[in-house]
Amino acid sequence: MNRRQAGTAYRERIEALLAELGLPASLLAGRPLRLIPEAQRLAPVGLGTDGRDKLLTPGAAQAWLALRDAAARDGVGLLLISGFRSVDYQAALIRAKLARGLSAEEVLRINAPPGYSEHHSGRAVDIGCAGVAALDEAFETTPAYEWLCRNAAEHGFRMSYPRGNRQGYLYEPWHWFHQGGSGTGKP
């Protein structure tokens, strides 16, 4: 299968999955979301806060470890909450929220639809710190968040979903995307 055929097959897989989840295209219309292929090469970066191995692309893995180590040298502890997430895992997260009674609109303000999550790329990390619940907006009040705002770009990371982001997601001060840079290798 050539690259074009693989892209078409992936898009068809995502469209079928969205239909199965009951996420109509109308819910995505007007939001500048892009289809994100799943990473093919991943490297381990250690255990996450859930005790499970976390993976990132090799360049993002190198950058995350450098970021974490630089923060530690400055007395700031960064915890990895999540990294690579497959399309199937993303679908399972959404299925669980729908089963709990959340509407599709509510779910899509919290989670990207399968096929559209930066986590699929293997270049997104959710970061936390001791003393604050994971994936909580209170993270923005921590020294860890302040440190990231001052230093993340030097390691090729940017916060993806600031307040009022164009993609329509809730504010996520914990979600950072590796776009490359600063000698960290290719993304």
Structural domains of the chain, with CATH: 3-178 (3.30.1380.10)
Task: Tell me how far apart the alpha carbons of residues 21 and 44 are, in angstroms, rounded to a whole number.
Answer: 30
Do 87 and 70 contact (CB within 8 A), yes or no? no
Residue 17 in this model has a pLDDT that exceeds 60? yes
pLDDT band for position 149 (cuts 50, 70, 90):
very high
pLDDT for the residue numbered 186: 40
Cα 9 off chain centre by = 23
Note the pTM of the prediction, 2 decimals: 0.92
Q: Mean pLDDT throughout 98-114?
A: 96
Instruction: Give the CA distances from residue 62 to residues 8, 48, 136, 177, in Å, rounded to whole numbers and listed in that order.
Output: 31, 16, 26, 13
Residue 32 in this model has a pLDDT that exceeds 90? yes
For residue 153, the one-letter residue type is A
